[in-house]
Structure 1
Amino acid sequence: MNWAARRIGGRFHYGWLAAAVVFFVLLAAAGTRATPSVMMVPLEHEFGWSRATISLAISVNIALYGLMGPFAAAAMQRFGVRPTVLTALGMMAGGVALSSLMTATWQMVLVWGVMVGGATGVAALTLSATVVNRWFSERRGLVMGMLTASSATGQLVFLPMLAAVAEHHGWRPVVLIVAIAAAVVLPLVALFLPERPADLGLRPYGEPDGAPVAAAGPAQNPLKLAFGTLFSAARTRDFWLLFFSFFICGASTNGYVGTHLIAMCGDYGMSEVQGASLLAAMGVFDLFGTTLSGWLSDRFNSRLLLFWYYGLRGLSLLYLPHAFGIDFFGLPLFAMFYGLDWIATVPPTVRLTTDVYGKEAAPVVFGWVVAGHQLGAAFAAFGAGVLRASLGTYTIASMIAGGLCLVASVIVLRIHRSGAVRPLAASAA
């Protein structure tokens, strides 16, 4: 790895290469997380499983994806970023490949829900926050926006292709393609992802030349660090405002639209490829929207940015049931409007978390906030499936998701009103 640092030595800071490696890790994880939405209808046809049953496995996956966040951040501090990520990628690739043999619903819950959900929870937003805080003193918002946008890019790269494969060859080739994609990223992490800038004798990007080179702090027990940080943060109002606003964020994105949009399109006579292409188009817009959001979060008040993001997302979800009845502009307008706003909330939320709790504690605190995001997503994934199974339509689910976003737009205005940093003793050695 030092040879790579020497080769790029005067050209650009190595932090940009570390961020690029993480981008590909998140890209593979995003493709893995998007796969169940492509498999939903084929599994329904082959095994006769109900949509609510399949949604249960997806909701377990989403919940574990979020709950792993704080423990993954703590494990990265204790064991290192590279060993933790390599273990997760190996489990992800193995679990996805193993799912090609499943024939019962409990197997889907075990493999896709527990095994894959836990592995993707490591290759998640907490990984981005950890790497950004370690490698960058400037441009944090921009880099966080670019890494967050990898989720949208993962949809752009994987969904239309996977939907086409599922439509013509079934769902089993789909999971094998995704398993190979996860395995391909393993050598990139092994070769090009150092632990910290200090390992290469560097300072974080943008840090003044006179500043001391930061070194790793004393190792701590990951469970103690994760729960200690939670107990300290949970005593503050800002944590719960961040947690519940991100709960709504997850419910209105990954949980509802990310899980059910392809199936919803099928209710209106659209094919799986058309539904996946709509999600991919939203991914294109989100790539720009989230990157721009990172740039904006370096320059403007994050609370106000979140107010507009949640408010506009809520309006777009209230519009969604009507979009299918408008011939030409209906769904394209929704895809553009919602896509620009999809996960633009992440960079300002990371910025607020860092502003409130400090750079060292922020990754673990943000891990618990992401847990709220994914609990919201699990709630919406399962709840929307139940509503669709009982009512035969997704309209009520869209109304609920839109209304929750309008509530979140008010909640976020109360975050970090004091402007003071709250250091957490549990997160420092």
Structure 2
Amino acid sequence: MHQRAFSKDLPKHDHPRGWTVVIAAMVGVALGMSPIPFYTIGMLGPQLSAEFGWSFAALMASITVQSGVVMIASPLSGIAIDRFGARKVALLSLPLFGLSYMSLALNNGSLMIFYAQWIVMSILGIGTLSATWTRVVTQWFDKRRGMALGVASCGTGITGFLIKPLCASLIQAYGWRTAVMVIGCLPIVIGVPVVAALFREIRCGPRKAEDVPGADLAQSGVTLAEAMRDRRLWTMAGAFLSIAFALTAPTPNLENILRTRAFTLAQIGEITAAFGLSVICGRLLGGWLLDRVWAPLIAAFILVFPAIGCWLLTTGSINALTATLATVSLGFGAGFEFDLLAYLISRYFGQKHYGSIYGCFYAVIAFAGGLGPVVFGYAFDRVGDYTLALRCGSVCLVTGAALLLMMGAYPKDHRK
């Protein structure tokens, strides 16, 4: 698009039109594979267990199956995003994810088929994960990139807040199969039209790069091979391995953690309700701060909160207020994780091969995220509480923050 269509008074790469891209990305995130299966399996679990006799351990293993597939497929997805464009990948993956999620309603009691459905859903829905959306958002923004990423990634918090009551009401009124079919339609009937209308990438045509807002940054950056020879990539990998493990592990165990601290079911429901809203707050505040302060320093500041939250849950006497503060702290940190990753990759390694590099990092996060809940659950089975696991989580968060502080200043130029 020619420069005259944009105000010369605004910083290049931060034109207001980019906010329509952010809205589309937020809708895509909200209706993608990251939040929908994760937030609905807990609602569907009792129905599937009652009808098919499956154990909850077997049902929750579907999340582990998904993490394993994502770990393998996310680098390939990143390459596809770089080669074919994020918009094309999104418009293909959204309807395929919706259809594959709807296929869960066809299961008649085979646990192996259930796992196979999750494998297919994870492969077809891989293009709805954050690499797709952040790839384009970071193209449109430079000065306000952190805030733009924070707003876009609020989609997961919105889904977490809305999808459970929707799923519950559908199950109560029509049964679990209808609930699955309706929820599976959402990426198709809402996601696809919004993304098709508003999600636009910056492309460099025959005009000079400076004639295209953001094209100079969109075309700069190191290759994946070059990034792999950079010690900063491995520093980030170690940091996010620790951070993802510590932030993901307590989330599905949170209700049981609170149960072991003698809270009633009603109290647990009230305490954990704060988690989803704190995720949104973490994304927005973290994004705002990223635009103003060196990102590793902001990461160290924000990761202190979930580290303290993990430790609070191990204290000798804990009341409802303390437990709520700990839960809010965990959600605050969890809300910042993916915004931080996207921001760091775009700043340290550039835009040109963003998808490939992000895909490799997502594999690291998928591995740590799949491992964390299992390790916490194993620790509970062995000793009957989560004290040791939670304190290890605090140490992991501090370690991850310390590693990020070793990243150094942002490179001034990525052009090759």
Deviation of 1:20 (Å): 0.8
Pick the aligned partner of 2:286 from 284, 293, 304. Answer: 293
What one-letter code is carried by the residue in structure 2 that aligns with 1:182? P
Unaligned runs of 5+ in 2: 7-14, 217-221
Hey, what does 1:328 align to over in structure 2? 320
Kindly provide the amino acid, as one letter, of the partner of residue 256 in structure 1. Answer: A
1:49 is paired with a residue of what secondary structure? coil
Supply the AA of the counterpart residue of 2:340.
P
Q: CA contact under 8 A between 1:357 and 1:422: conserved in structure 2?
A: no
Letter in 2 for 1:232: E
Cα distance between partner residues in 2 of 1:387 and 1:157:
32
State the shift of 1:105 in Å: 2.4
Cα drift, residue 17 of structure 1: 1.2
The 1:373/1:76 distance shift into structure 2, 3 A limit, reads: same
Question: Residues of 2 paired with 1:320 and 1:167: CA distance?
Answer: 34
Alignment counterpart, residue 61 of structure 1, candidates 61, 66, 74 = 66
Paired residues of 1:73 and 1:363 also in contact (CA < 8 A)? yes
Map 1:213-252 to 2 at 5 A.
213=212, 229-252=223-246
Q: Distance in 2 between matches of 1:39 and 1:130?
A: 32
The whole-number CA distance in structure 2 between the counterparts of 1:298 and 1:31 is: 29
CA offset at residue 230 of structure 1? Answer: 4.1
Aligned position for 2:193: 187
Alignment of 1:87-106 (within 5 A): 87-102=92-107, 103-106=109-112
1:149 corresponds in structure 2 to 154
Shift of 1:388: 4.3
SS state of the match for residue 122, structure 1? helix
Aligned to 2:392: 400
Measured in 2, the distance between the counterparts of 1:183 and 1:277 equals 33
Q: After superposition, what is the alpha-carbon deviation per residue over 1:17-60, rounded to whole angstroms, capped at 9, x for unaligned?
A: 12211110101122333222333454445444344433332112
More deviation, 255-264/102-111 = 255-264
Give the direction of change, closer, same or farther, for the CA distance of 1:18–1:67 in structure 2 (3 Å limit). farther
Cα deviation code 1:83-127 (max 9, x no counterpart): 211221122111111112332322232222x12223443222212
State the 1:280 CA deviation. Answer: 4.5
Uncovered stretches (5+) of structure 1, i.e. residues with no partner: 7-11, 204-209, 218-227
CA shift, 1:168, in A, is: 8.0
Cα distance 1:215–1:402, how it changes in 2: closer, same or farther (>3 A)?
Answer: closer
User: Is residue 160–residue 276 contact of structure 1 (8 Å, CA) maintained in 2?
Assistant: no
SS of 1:414's partner is coil
Q: Which amino acid aligns with 2:281?
A: F
Q: CA deviation at 1:420?
A: 3.6
* Kept in 2: contact 1:243–1:370 (CA 8 A): no
Task: Using the TM superposition, give the Cα deviation of residue 356 of structure 1 relative to its aligned residue in structure 2, in angstroms.
Answer: 1.8
SS, match of residue 23 in structure 1: helix
Counterpart mapping for 1:356-395 below 5 A: 356-395=348-387
Question: In structure 1, the residue corresponding to 2:127 is in which secondary structure?
Answer: coil
SS at match of 2:210: coil
Other-structure match for 2:12: none
State the number of aligned residues.
Answer: 395
Q: CA–CA distance in 1 between the matches of 2:371 and 2:133?
A: 24
Q: Is the 8 A contact 2:307 2:398 kept in 1?
A: yes
Matched, 1:21 2:24: yes
Alignment of 1:252-267 (within 5 A): 252-253=246-247, 255-262=248-255
Alignment of 1:271-282 (within 5 A): 271=265, 278-282=271-275
Equivalents in 2 of 1:393, 1:136: separation in Å? 45
Write out per-residue CA displacement over residues 149-198 of structure 1, whole angstroms, 9 at most, x where no aligned residue: 22122211213443565578764444233212222212222333234366
SS in 1 for 2:320: coil
Matched residue type, 2:22? A
**Cα offset for 1:67?**
4.3
Aligned partners of 1:31 and 1:172: how far apart in 2? Answer: 15
Shift of 1:300: 0.4
Scaled by the length of structure 1, the TM-score of the pair is 0.79
Q: Alpha carbon RMSD of aligned pairs, Å?
A: 3.6
| Residues 21 and 137, structure 2, Cα contact 8 Å, conserved in 1 | no
Matched-pair contact (CA < 8 Å) for 1:384–1:397: yes
Cα distance in 1 for residues equivalent to 2:259 and 2:313: 15
The structural deviation recorded for 1:143 is 0.3
Shift of 1:418: 5.7
Compared CA separation, residues 131 and 270, structure 1 to 2 (3 A): farther
Match of 1:207 in 2: none
Q: Name the amino acid aligned to 2:334.
A: W
Please give the secondary structure, in 2, of the residue aligned with 1:138: coil
Taking structure 2 as the reference length, the TM-score comes to 0.81
- Quick check: 2:40–2:164 contact (8 Å CA) kept in 1? yes
| Aligned residues of 1:82 and 1:194 also touching (Cα < 8 A) | yes
The 1:374–1:53 alpha-carbon spacing in structure 2 relative to 1, beyond 3 Å, is same
